């Protein structure tokens, strides 16, 4: 073996490095989108040969443009904005639901297909997103989303493997201040992010201090009473300046549930309404509910009077199926509905909503109470979906929970009948022996489509419904 000196070893290393460099860069091509300025480097030391492993060649390619189709619901973006996966794009509000849409890709918004307040079509492109070539692109398919999925996306937004819970108002506030919800710690129930969490996070980022709650100003002590002379009493009282009202009228467009109500009530105006009223003695039902209420609470169900009203209506519809029907716009055909989807008019923060209990004819009173508890929780949170709000065949309005005895309910097309329940009052009534007794009286008001329902049919149905409630034991004979 021959011994190598330091100088000969340097020459040998240069030859090997040059050959290795030629082999590494023989087939490589570097594509530049803009000219690279030449750099001049002044070195005081002797130049060193760089190791070829420290050199890298990058290939830059633009990714395809993906059409993001409208399949669910979100908040505002502009052309040129960069979005990441799960970022909110916009908020879409239909006649019955309001949901937030999130991005499925990382990229830049290149085109908007709709303006603000415009009507977007389901399954059509919403925006164009220019994605990066390194990101995996999955072409969207036209999928009809179930209402249950729409409700879940409205409540939860999945970000990096975890679900962030926040209301649309909180998401809008976070987006306006460029705050990622994944970076905010929620202090609400089950980690829900509240408005105060966003404000506290923003204060920490900007160094601002939230203003403290205003403290009431101290009340000065009353001045000491002084004697008033008769001459001063005869003088006219001092004139005080008249108050000036500075309020202004506010005009805003109808949208969301209010716009849907205008459409529904305009269609209901074309229906000739027939009205019928009666009173029901609920004394026996009140005693029965008092006995069953602890049992229902033990099973985790809040039992009100409404499940009995709904079940009695379903039993009555068995004998009068025309009240559970619908008629076409030309009033040429009647469709008798097999399912008893009985709706309940509900007063919510979003306005009047009418969710319905599906297939009441096969449910027990306790099962109806469970479904009503679920709908009331969703209604209070503003999370009722289109599945809960559509498909109704008959409606009851519990207006008596707010107040009033009689009402004139308006039919919800394409249904043909509706009932309004007044408040329960304790009034004097005569019993079978002629004695005056305390009675729990409730008034009911019915409206029917007089084009296909006559007064006698509505009266017979009301009498049967009344019999079930005044003698709850009769319901047991017809239960299936």
Average pLDDT over residues 72-80: 58
Number of domains in the chain: 3
Q: Check whether residue 305 and residue 390 sit in a common domain.
A: yes
Quick: pLDDT tens for 382-395.
888 889 999 999 99
Per-residue pLDDT, 441 = 96
As given in the structure block, the two tokens for residue 286 are 């009140």
Quick: pLDDT tens for 163-175.
677 887 788 888 8
Average pLDDT over residues 40-54: 39
Q: Is residue 152 part of a domain?
A: no
Count the Cβ atoms, other than its own, within 10 Å of residue 219: 6
The residue range of the domain holding 179 is: 169-201
Quick: pLDDT tens for 205-234.
765 444 444 455 556 666 555 555 555 556
Say if residue 166 is exposed, middle or buried (CB neighbours under 10 Å; 0-12, 13-18, 19+): buried
Average pLDDT over residues 157-165: 54
Percent of the chain, pLDDT > 70? 69
Q: Check whether residue 318 and residue 188 sit in a common domain.
A: no
Per-residue pLDDT, 12 = 46
Q: Active site residue: 81, 95, 450, 478, which one?
A: 450
Per-residue pLDDT, 479 = 80
Q: Is residue 94 part of a domain?
A: yes
- Choice between 156 and 374, residue whose per-residue pLDDT is larger: 374
Per-residue pLDDT, 247 = 85
Q: How far is CA 374 from CA 27, 145, 291, 356, 368, in A?
A: 66, 21, 23, 11, 10
Q: Is residue 212 part of a domain?
A: no
Q: Is 291 in the active site?
A: no
Which is nearest to 79 in space by CA: 129, 118, 132?
129
Domain boundary among 148, 179, 201: 201
Q: Check whether residue 305 and residue 378 sit in a common domain.
A: yes
Q: Is residue 31 part of a domain?
A: no
Peptide bond before residue 281 is cis, with ω within 30 degrees of 0: no
311: domain CATH number? 3.30.559.10
Which is nearest to 261 in space by CA: 344, 343, 347, 351?
351
Q: Check whether residue 179 and residue 290 sit in a common domain.
A: no
Are 350 and 382 in contact by the 8 Å Cβ rule? The answer is: yes
Q: Check whether residue 296 and residue 415 sit in a common domain.
A: yes
Average pLDDT over residues 114-131: 80
Mean pLDDT is lowest, of 6-20, 105-119, 283-297, 371-385, for: 6-20
- Choice between 198 and 43, residue whose per-residue pLDDT is larger: 198
User: Residue 341: beta bridge partners?
Assistant: none
Q: Is residue 472 part of a domain?
A: yes
Per-residue pLDDT, 46 = 42
174: domain CATH number? 4.10.320.10
Average pLDDT over residues 465-479: 91
Which is nearest to 372 in space by CA: 352, 357, 350?
357
Strand-strand pairing, 417-421 and 394-397: parallel
Q: Is residue 291 part of a domain?
A: yes
Q: Check whether residue 190 and residue 318 sit in a common domain.
A: no
Domain boundary among 160, 181, 201: 201
Q: Check whether residue 194 and residue 331 sit in a common domain.
A: no
Per-residue pLDDT, 454 = 95
Q: Is the pLDDT of residue 193 over 50?
A: yes
Q: Check whether residue 375 and residue 459 sit in a common domain.
A: yes
Q: Check whether residue 304 and residue 439 sit in a common domain.
A: yes
Q: Is the pLDDT of residue 68 over 70?
A: no
Average pLDDT, the chain: 76
Q: Active site residue: 156, 319, 431, 454, which one?
A: 454
Q: Is residue 195 part of a domain?
A: yes
- Choice between 319 and 187, residue whose per-residue pLDDT is larger: 319
Q: Is the pLDDT of residue 425 over 70?
A: yes
Q: How confident is the model at residue 104 (pLDDT cuts 50, 70, 90)?
A: confident
Q: Is 450 in the active site?
A: yes
116: domain CATH number? 2.40.50.100
Q: Check whether residue 85 and residue 195 sit in a common domain.
A: no
Q: How confident is the model at residue 32 (pLDDT cuts 50, 70, 90)?
A: very low
Q: Is the pLDDT of residue 98 over 70?
A: no
Q: Is residue 419 part of a domain?
A: yes
Q: For tokens 């669910």, what's the residue? A: 72
Per-residue pLDDT, 331 = 86
Which is nearest to 69 in space by CA: 157, 139, 159?
139
């Amino acid at each position: 073996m021959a011994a190598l000196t330091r100088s000969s070893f340097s020459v040998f290393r240069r030859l090997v490095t040059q050959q290795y460099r030629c082999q590494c860069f023989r087939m490589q091509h570097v594509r530049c989108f803009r000219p690279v300025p030449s750099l001049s480097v002044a070195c005081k030391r002797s130049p060193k040969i760089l190791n070829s492993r420290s050199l890298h060649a990058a290939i830059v390619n633009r990714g395809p443009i993906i059409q993001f189709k409208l399949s669910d619901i979100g908040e505002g973006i502009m052309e040129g904005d960069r979005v990441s996966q799960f970022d909110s794009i916009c908020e879409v509000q239909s006649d019955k639901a309001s949901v937030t849409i999130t991005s499925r890709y990382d990229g830049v918004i290149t085109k908007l297909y709709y303006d603000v307040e415009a009507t977007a079509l389901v399954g059509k492109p919403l925006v164009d997103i220019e994605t990066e070539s390194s990101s995996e692109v999955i072409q969207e398919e036209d999928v009809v989303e179930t209402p249950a999925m729409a409700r879940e996306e409205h409540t939860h937004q999945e970000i990096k493997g975890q679900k962030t819970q926040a209301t649309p108002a909180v998401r809008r506030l976070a987006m306006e201040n460029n705050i990622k919800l994944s970076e905010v710690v929620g202090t609400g129930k089950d980690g829900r992010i509240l408005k105060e969490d966003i404000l506290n996070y923003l204060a920490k980022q900007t160094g601002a201090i939230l203003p403290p709650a205003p403290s009431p100003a101290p009340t000065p002590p009353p001045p000491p009473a002084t004697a008033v002379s008769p001459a001063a009493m005869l003088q006219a009282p001092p004139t005080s300046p008249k108050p000036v009202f500075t309020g202004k009228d506010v005009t805003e467009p109808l949208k969301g549930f209010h716009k849907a109500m205008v459409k529904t009530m305009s269609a209901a105006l074309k229906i000739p309404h027939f009205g019928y009223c009666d009173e029901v003695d609920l004394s026996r039902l009140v005693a029965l509910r008092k006995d069953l209420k602890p049992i229902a609470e033990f099973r985790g169900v809040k039992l009100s009077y409404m499940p009995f009203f709904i079940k009695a209506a379903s039993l009555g519809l068995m004998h009068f199926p025309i009240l559970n029907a619908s008629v076409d716009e030309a009033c040429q055909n009647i469709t008798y509905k097999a399912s008893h989807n009985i709706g309940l008019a509900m007063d919510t923060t979003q306005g009047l909503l009418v969710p319905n209990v599906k297939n009441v004819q096969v449910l027990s009173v306790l099962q109806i109470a469970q479904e009503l508890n679920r709908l009331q929780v969703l209604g209070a949170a503003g999370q009722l979906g289109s599945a809960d709000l559509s498909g109704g065949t008959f409606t009851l309005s519990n207006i008596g929970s707010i107040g009033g005895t009689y009402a004139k309910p308006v039919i919800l097309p394409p249904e043909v009948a509706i009932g309004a329940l007044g408040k329960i009052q304790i009034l004097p009534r005569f019993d079978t022996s002629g004695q005056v007794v305390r009675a729990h009286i409730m008034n009911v008001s019915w409206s029917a489509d007089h084009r296909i329902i006559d007064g006698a049919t509505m009266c017979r149905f009301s009498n049967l419904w009344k019999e079930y409630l005044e003698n709850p034991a009769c319901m047991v004979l017809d239960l299936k």
